[in-house]
Amino acid sequence: MFEPRTTAPIFGKLTAPEAWQTVDLISDLHLQASETATFEAWRAYMAQTPADAVLILGDLFEVWVGDDAAAQDPFLQSCADVLSQTAQRTHVAFMPGNRDFLVGPDYLGRCGVASLTDPTLLELGEQRILLTHGDALCLDDQPYQAFRQQARSPQWQQAFLAKPLTERQAFARSLRALSESKKQVGMGFADADPEMSQFWLSLAQADRMVHGHTHRPADHPLGTGQRHVLSDWSLDHEPRRAQVFRLEKSGGLRRLNIMNATGS
């Protein structure tokens, strides 16, 4: 399964400006109109964060079927307003996740949000931190990996986006129903493959890796470095949780509990 010569990624690179002192990392908010508490906590956080940059590592949205859908969706327009207002005072960047990999340059451009390659090497002071959504590392989920390889191709995306919006929305609903059915029978998220994760870290010559996707927030040793898993956000259902992972140029890192910070 582990074939480094065929699975070596092409890393993006983000070199933090000298003025940046803190960088916030979030992922897996799965924003949707029906879950108002999560949206309001995110809106409050984005308005209040003192960070010099907010990097969103995928699955900001529960589903995305094309930038054209946002023009007809008041909720997605509200999300765009939050992103735009935050981007006016701090750097905001977005990395695609497994649910919202079709977020495109039109939507991001209107929001003033930069695009992040998955994976991206962040250089913050003396630190080298590898950022990824994490789904590409979950090798045990072979059916998903096959779909991911297909769906990330430009040909598949062009053909999919050419379909009528109603057809794309129906397809998205079918994928969500399949995901929910897996949860009901106890099929959770696969974890990041340790061997592949260490290979990526070594290849990037990074000190640590940060990713989301698995909904298992924790810190793990990874060779001579560390692997930090971001929290998902869920304030409309139990168990409730929402964390921001804050990196400091000085080398410090903290997990901030947004539920306490927002009074949710």
Give the start-to-end residue ranges of the domains of the chain: 4-259
3-state DSSP assignment of residue 206: coil
Ramachandran class of 189: left when φ > 0, alpha when ψ lies in -120 to 50, beta otherwise: beta
Q: Model pTM?
A: 0.93
Say how far apart CA 223 and CA 207 lie, in whole Å: 10
Cis peptide before 154 (omega within 30 of 0): no
Domain 4-259 sits in which CATH superfamily?
Metallo-dependent phosphatases (3.60.21.10)
pLDDT by position in tens, the chain (length 264): 444 445 679 999 999 999 999 999 999 999 999 999 999 999 999 999 999 999 999 999 999 999 999 989 999 999 999 999 999 999 999 999 999 999 999 999 999 999 999 999 999 999 999 999 999 999 999 999 999 999 999 999 999 999 999 999 999 999 888 777 666 545 566 899 999 999 999 999 999 999 999 999 999 999 999 999 999 999 999 999 999 999 999 999 999 998 755 433
